[in-house]
Amino acid sequence: MDRQEAIRLFVAVEMSAAIRSSLTELRFHFPDLKWTPPDNLHLTLRFIGSVSEASAATVQQALHGIRHGAFRLTVGGLGLFCRKTGGVVWAGVHEEPALRKLKRQVDEALYCSAGLSLPGESFSPHVTLTRLKKAPPPALKTPVREKSGESFGEMPVTSFTLFRSYLHRSGAIHEPVERYALVPENPRLGE
């Protein structure tokens, strides 16, 4: 695939303004870390990776076939994924059957309708707050643990988004390609 034609895509649920604000306030407790910009805070349903322009159009169309009801999502607690070569500080997303069902429908649409070969992956819903280039220092574990029970809010999920991602030295830039509305199950969800 020609590098100029490659389009890097992922499917995600965008965080509400209120939850983005709550998560952004955490920066004051961890001043030495480079945080994800507030507009980039999201819950990834499926990372697709680099595809051709034709495949990107097929993906965009395949996601139109998803029929799923709106639901509520709760974000709370901090955690740390640790590796020798780096790590991630993340905010947890409470397990919701509706979220798992949406994830499954996204994967089915991408595999069955768009014909993508998707790697098997375990789904651990979270919002990435910062990526660490080195193994997390031991001193980071205590403040993360202290915030592990904190709530960052609840939000209605009324859509999901196909994003295009551009990698730059300063960090990734995520551009919405298309938002897909979920069917309102309760007219009061959006309040």
Query: What DSSP string runs through 9-65?
Result: EEEEEEPPHHHHHHHHGGGGG-TTS-PPPGGG-EEEEEEEEEE-HHHHHHHHHHGGG
Q: Pairing between strand 7-14 and 42-51?
A: antiparallel
Q: CA 76 to CA 56: how far, in whole Å? A: 33
Query: What pLDDT score does 2 carry?
Result: 44
Instruction: Write the CB contacts of 45 (distance below 8 Å, at least 6 apart in sequence).
Output: 10, 11, 12, 13, 102, 103, 106, 160
Domains of the chain, CATH where assigned: 7-181 (3.90.1140.10)
Q: Each residue of 134-173: pLDDT tens digit? A: 877 788 888 899 999 999 999 999 999 999 999 887 778 8
Q: Which of these is catalytic: 94, 126, 168, 174? A: 126
């990435």: which residue's tokens?
A: 128
Q: Is 126 a catalytic residue?
A: yes
Q: Is 42 a catalytic residue?
A: yes
Q: What's the rounded mean pLDDT across residues 11-16?
A: 98
Query: What pLDDT score does 185 carry?
Result: 62
Q: Each residue of 84-137: pLDDT tens digit? A: 778 899 999 998 999 999 999 999 999 988 888 777 778 999 999 998 888 777
Query: What pLDDT score does 1 carry?
Result: 44
Q: Which of these is catalytic: 42, 64, 68, 168? A: 42
Query: What pLDDT score does 60 carry?
Result: 96
Does residue 47 contact residue 84 with C-beta atoms inside 8 Å? no
């990698």: which residue's tokens?
A: 167
Query: What pLDDT score does 188 carry?
Result: 55
In the DSSP assignment, the letter for residue 188 is: T
